[in-house]
Structure 1
Amino acid sequence: MTQQRHILLLGGTAEARELLETLINVTEHDITYSLAGVLGSKAEEVLRSRMGIDSAHFQFRMGGFGGPEGLKKYMLDHGIDLLIDATHPYATSISRNAIEASREASIPLARFVRHEWTETTDDSWTVVDTLSDAAAALPSDVTVFLSVGRQSIAPFASRKDCKFVIRSIAEAEEHMFHSATFIQGMPGRSMEEEMALFEQYGVDLLVTKNSGSGKASHKIMAARELHIPVIMVKRPEMPDGPEFCEIAPILDWIEAAPAAS
């Protein structure tokens, strides 16, 4: 095993929690797990109790860094040896900040991301580059299930010729839409639950980002089963760099990565 490292893990996803638990259980590295702060002050307590974390090698941090310069300063001040970005695939601001900060601080960076969804022969997808492209691609007079996150719904508000069913974890701004039903909640726990929801609201079309894997997959399977077409917003392109979707390869990268210079 290589020398003990101090790893800064940018989290907030199920994949990040899985990696955190693995690192604590199978390595002796020091881990600082960082969240953006949207989960509130009890996030550390919930995380520790849910995962059974009781380790002297684990530290918890919540809140922003203040852009790439702030992240660079934090890493240098705290002796960070490796940086792992396990944030949401569409959290581009923090990911780009991580790239810049790691380069400026000469600290190795890897991304840990969930697998993308892939279209099957039973699906009917229209793949677009942006949210605005997705809004433009909507046909008229349809009921759209919009599952893109609260902060991404604005481009669809101009489509007054469509009805929307909008689900988001946090409260959304309802006033901007001409005709919309808002559902505050998490993704369905099964394909059947999502199918029932689509049928309840008479959904004709699903719009979503390619977040990939996890519970959000149930809506993709439900659309497939009900023959509902999908407008899929592609993941934003990121600069080349080490990127992993499985635990074993990123553990290998951690052991092989050069120490921060």
Structure 2
Amino acid sequence: MRVLILGGTAEARALAAELHPQTYVVTSLAGRVTNPRLPVGEVREGGFGGPDGLAAWLAAERIDLLVDATHPFAARMTASAVAASAATGVPLLILRRPGWTEGPGDAWLRARSLEEAAALIGSEARVFLTTGRRSLPVFAALPGRWFLARSVDPPEPPVPANVRVLLDRGPYTVAGETVLIREHRLDVLVTKDSGGPMTTAKLVAAREAGLPVIMVNRPPVPPEIPFVETVADAVAWVQG
């Protein structure tokens, strides 16, 4: 059995650890993050060149099963996986951790896109922006706002005129997020519905500080593809 995991997430690393060494596992990383956390087993870094390139790689490497365990917002990679699976006949599973849910005391505004999220930001807001470095151009044209933008790697221009970039990698703590909110006098959090425990501290800190949260919804999972939310279910699918 030869399995390709499209990775870059904690779930992908956990799945590789569960399958290796009994199953031959290759984890593919897009190569967009400096010094990524590496899974066990074989690792491939860099893109495939779209769905045709991925299909050719699956055939050349005699891959039996394909698991898309990429970030919930990696819609382009998921689309390539769906197309490559259809072209080669290699079965595909999508592994996505559950999204976050609003609880008592939360004040969330749901946005269908980054552009819609940007339109919801008040004209003089001080924004805690945690939507990733590649999203900053969407917010670059907003005058009058001040941004604290956190990302793992430095963003490329264009970026907002009034922005402080904080380079950091989770997991984070509620105490640490509370300090950021207080020291920078932040009054709104803008984030993606990535789910998972590594970055939930910002949501708790926002709730405790009374900050509204603009939450960008995930792109939908293709309905025709098998889909699970836990590593255990993904292991069962591979071994089934």
Name the TM-score class by shorter chain: over 0.9
Q: 1:175 to 1:94 in 2, by over 3 A?
A: closer
1:21 matched to 2:12? The reply is no
The aligned counterpart of 2:238 is: 254
Mapping of residues 35-114 of structure 1, within 5 Å: 35-39=29-33, 47=38, 53=40, 58-114=41-97
Match for residue 229 of structure 1 among 188, 212, 225 = 212
Q: Counterpart of 1:17 in structure 2: which amino acid?
A: R
Q: Normalising by the residue count of structure 2, what TM-score does the alignment of the two structures yield?
A: 0.94
Q: 1:176 to 1:153 in 2, by over 3 A?
A: closer
How many residue pairs get matched? 239
| CA distance in structure 2 between the partners assigned to 1:175 and 1:77 by the alignment | 39
| CA distance in structure 1 between the partners assigned to 2:52 and 2:15 by the alignment | 26
Unmatched tracts of structure 2, length 5 or more: none
- Cα RMSD of the aligned pairs, angstroms, is 1.7
The aligned counterpart of 1:195 is: 178
Match for residue 7 of structure 2 among 11, 15, 19 = 11
1:33 matched to 2:17? The reply is no
SS in 1 for 2:20: helix
Contact 1:127 1:232 in 2 (8 A): yes
| CA distance in structure 2 between the partners assigned to 1:222 and 1:153 by the alignment | 23
**Deviations 1:191-231 (CA, angstroms, capped at 9, x unpaired):** 11101111110000000000111321111111111111000
Larger C-alpha radius of gyration, 1 or 2?
1
**Deviations 1:156-194 (CA, angstroms, capped at 9, x unpaired):** 112112111111111124664232222111246211110
| CA distance in structure 2 between the partners assigned to 1:68 and 1:85 by the alignment | 13
SS in 1 for 2:44: strand
Unmatched tracts of structure 1, length 5 or more: 257-261
SS in 1 for 2:38: helix
Q: 1:249 to 1:225 in 2, by over 3 A?
A: same
Percent identical pairs in the alignment equals: 37
SS in 1 for 2:161: coil
SS in 2 for 1:126: strand
Contact 2:136 2:158 in 1 (8 A): no
Q: Which runs of 4+ in 1 moved over 4 A?
A: none
